[in-house]
């Protein structure tokens, strides 16, 4: 669904802080947005998110940094399958180049991220093996990090170390053929 044209979401958009919330509300005034209050997600917030996820679904739009990825993992571990929107780190850098966050992303890039939502899969895809990651050069090779960065950008899932990147590929149900196709582009 093209959320930018529809200007409506069934799901609740989850962000880290008030500045992120303000930006989303500027773009999508009717969207329901919830904040985690940064990296220390409280039990109460997680309980609310679990109920919201069961009733409406969640779209996680976190900062493209280690803390943002940590918050995604915490939420997914508690509430189950969610939807994910990603922004590139280079698009989330503040003007003074000292901070990274969703609040620094342009409105067009936010719309783009929310129009390319990925969903986690309950099946935890065994169709991608760790050997495949090695075989394709994504781990255990001199330029593996560079290749994971390139692939992460093409797939819109960000950059992680090899183990976390593998888990994320499985979580989104991305198989070897998807990876090979993305690398050819």
Residue that wins the pLDDT comparison between 30 and 128 = 30
What CATH number labels 3-119?
3.40.1360.10
Mean pLDDT of 74-81: 90
Q: What is the pLDDT of residue 124?
A: 46
Mean pLDDT of 94-104: 92
pLDDT, tens only, 153-179: 888 887 788 888 888 888 788 888 888
Is the model's pLDDT at 111 over the cut of 90? yes
Segments making up each domain of the chain, as ranges? 3-119, 130-184
Please state the three-class secondary structure of the chain as a single string. Answer: CCHHHHCCCCCEEEECCHHHHHHHHHHCCCCCEEECCCCCCCHHHHHHHHHHHHHCCEEEECCCCHHHHHHHHHHHHHHCCCEEECCCHHHCECCCCCCECHHHCCHHHHHHHHCCCEECCCCCCCCCCHHHHHHCCCCCCCCHHHHHHHHHHHHCCCCCCHHHHHHHHHHCCCCHHHHHHHHHC
Q: What is the pLDDT of residue 80?
A: 87
Q: How far is CA 114 from CA 2, 35, 172, in A?
A: 9, 16, 16
pLDDT, tens only, 5-32: 556 789 999 999 999 999 999 999 999 9
Q: What is the pLDDT of residue 121?
A: 61
Mean pLDDT of 122-126: 48
> pTM value?
0.76
| DSSP string over 20-36 | HHHHHHHH-TT--EEE-
């Amino acid at each position: 669904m093209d959320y930018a044209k529809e200007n409506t979401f069934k799901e609740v958009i989850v962000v880290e802080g008030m500045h992120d919330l303000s930006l989303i509300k500027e773009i999508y005034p009717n969207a329901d947005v919830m904040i985690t209050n940064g990296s220390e997600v409280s039990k109460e917030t997680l309980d609310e998110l679990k109920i919201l996820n069961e009733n409406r679904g969640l779209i996680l739009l976190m900062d493209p940094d280690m803390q943002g990825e940590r918050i995604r993992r915490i939420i997914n571990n508690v509430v189950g399958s969610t939807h994910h929107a990603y922004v590139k780190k280079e698009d989330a850098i503040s003007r003074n180049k000292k901070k990274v966050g969703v609040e620094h992303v342009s409105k067009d890039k936010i719309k783009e991220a929310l129009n390319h939502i990925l969903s986690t899969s309950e099946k935890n895809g065994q169709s991608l093996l760790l050997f495949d990651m090695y075989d394709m050069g994504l781990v255990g090779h001199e330029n593996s990090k560079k290749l994971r960065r390139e692939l992460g950008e093409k797939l819109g899932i960000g950059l992680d170390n090899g183990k976390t990147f593998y888990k994320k590929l499985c979580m989104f149900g991305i198989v070897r053929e998807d990876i090979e196709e993305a690398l050819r582009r």
